């Protein structure tokens, strides 16, 4: 059976999963600017999903059809909860499931999850197996890094490639490197060679520091990749995935409109279920790169609800007319 990974034209351009950023609201806002070929959810804890208090965790897997095709990214410790989560994600209509084996945060690695799995092949294998069993044919992919404390490409990427995965996203840094050094794209290129030597079909998606669609196309060509995933680049340019919109053509009014839409959709979607404060991290994305942006942002940071945001934006717009 053909999966989303087979169906998408290559190279595939993907918006990276980013916790507390790429929720259903942000994905819809990005769709209004320029769609990537594929979205991922924020990473979602399977042990949390299986617990009684799963309501908050479940917010992370909420989506609308505007965000399709969409892959749910999961993490956790217990293989049986991966199995249950996979069953639920199949029922929810996801296009695929991705397992996070890359997050370097101490809060998750100290339990042995995410990038700590780089040091625990047997649990990684069990988790992949349990997820596949629950996924009933829905594709199960992995996103990872090139090592934990040091680069262990042959050992780790070689191991993952032997798990019969449809796709493998490689963030070109070790967990210890966090995001502090430039991504090692040459290592991502070597992963493609390992895949080719094994004569496998697993798609390799490169990730790390890409800031534009042009750069993504160049990297895909240079390293013979099947796709490129972009994360933080979207903070500098929400129109990044639009093939023709140059950031220089975006006006202050466009930016303000986008922020208004985001606040509106956020309040409609989350109401009181998510704190208004979380919304503030997005102000920097939209209200940036124009004269007076800093002052406007400072004012916006003082707000506590949608009405206050709208009022400040209206006042500002009347001045620039
Ligand atoms: C705020 C933030 C949250 C992130 N959350 C996740 C996550 O939930 N799952 C994941 O696999 N990676 C996560 N990442 C890592 C990104 O997906 C990506 O691998 C990393 O930022 C490198 O790509 P970039 O240089 O294009 O941003 C996160 C990164 C950032 C900056």
Q: What is the pLDDT along the chain (321 residues), one digit of tens a residue?
A: 899 999 999 999 999 999 999 999 999 999 999 999 999 999 999 999 999 878 889 999 999 999 999 999 999 999 999 999 999 999 999 999 999 999 999 999 999 999 999 999 999 999 999 999 999 999 999 999 999 999 999 999 999 999 999 999 999 999 999 999 999 999 999 999 999 999 999 999 999 999 999 999 999 999 999 999 999 999 999 999 999 999 999 999 999 999 999 999 999 999 988 899 999 999 999 999 999 999 999 999 999 999 999 999 999 999 886
Q: Which atom of ligand 1 is nearest to the CA of 42?
A: 8
For ligand 1, pick from 13, 14, 17 the residue to mutate: most ligand atoms within 8 Å of CB. Answer: 17
What is the C-alpha to C-alpha distance for residues 169 and 7, in angstroms, rounded to an integer? 17
Question: What is 3-71 written as a DSSP string?
Answer: -HHHHSPSSEEEEPP-TTTSSHHHHHHHHHH---SEEEPPPEEHHHHTSTTHHHHHGGG---GGG-SEE
- Backbone dihedral angles phi then psi of residue 135, each to the nearest 5 degrees: -80, -10
Domain 6-236 fold is TIM Barrel (3.20.20)
pTM above 0.95, yes or no: yes
CA of 311 to the centre of ligand 1 (A): 33
Which runs of consecutive H residues, i.e. helices, occur in 61-146? 79-92, 106-109, 121-135
For ligand 1, pick from 13, 14, 15, 18 the residue to mutate: most ligand atoms within 8 Å of CB. Answer: 18
Residue 267 half-sphere exposure, CB side, CA atoms within 13 Å? 12
pLDDT at 60: 96
308 token code pair: 């206050």
CA of 42 to the centre of ligand 1 (A): 9
Annotated catalytic residue, options 50, 103, 117, 146: 103
Q: Measured in Å, how far apart are the chain's first and last C-alpha atoms? A: 55
Sketch the domain layout of the chain as residue ranges: 6-236, 251-320
192 token code pair: 């493609």
Please confirm, yes or no, whether 114 is among the known catalytic residues: no
Angle, alpha carbons 62-64-65 (nearest 5°): 140
Q: Which atom of ligand 1 is nearest to the CA of 171?
A: 19
């Amino acid at each position: 059976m053909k999966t989303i990974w087979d169906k998408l034209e290559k190279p595939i351009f993907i918006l990276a999963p980013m916790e507390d950023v790429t929720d259903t609201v942000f994905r819809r806002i990005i769709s209004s600017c320029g769609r990537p070929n594929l979205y991922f959810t924020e990473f979602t804890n399977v042990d949390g999903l299986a617990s009684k208090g799963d309501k908050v965790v479940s917010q992370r897997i909420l989506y609308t059809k505007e965000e399709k095709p969409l892959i749910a990214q999961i993490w956790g410790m217990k293989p049986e909860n991966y199995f249950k989560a996979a069953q639920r994600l199949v029922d929810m209509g996801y296009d695929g499931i991705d397992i996070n084996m890359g997050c370097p945060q101490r809060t998750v690695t100290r339990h042995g999850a995410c990038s700590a799995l780089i040091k625990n092949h047997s649990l990684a294998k069990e988790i992949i197996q349990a997820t596949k069993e629950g996924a009933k044919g829905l594709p199960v992919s992995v996103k990872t890094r090139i090592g934990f404390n040091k680069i262990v490409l042959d050992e780790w990427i070689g191991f993952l490639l032997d798990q019969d995965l449809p796709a493998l996203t490689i963030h070109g840094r070790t967990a210890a490197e966090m995001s502090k050094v430039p991504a090692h794209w040459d290592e991502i290129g070597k992963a493609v060679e390992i895949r080719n030597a094994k004569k496998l079909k697993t798609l390799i998606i490169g990730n790390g520091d890409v800031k534009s669609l042009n750069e993504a196309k160049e990297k895909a060509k240079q390293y013979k990749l099947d796709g490129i995933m972009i994360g933080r680049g979207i903070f500098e340019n929400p129109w990044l995935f639009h093939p023709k919109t140059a950031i220089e053509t975006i006006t202050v009014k466009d930016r303000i409109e986008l922020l208004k839409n985001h606040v509106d959709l956020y309040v409609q979607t989350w109401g009181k279920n998510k704190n208004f404060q979380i919304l503030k991290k997005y102000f920097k994305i939209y209200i940036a790169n124009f004269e007076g942006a800093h002052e406007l942002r400072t004012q916006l940071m003082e707000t506590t609800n949608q009405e206050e945001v709208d009022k400040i934006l209206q006042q500002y717009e009347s001045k620039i007319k």
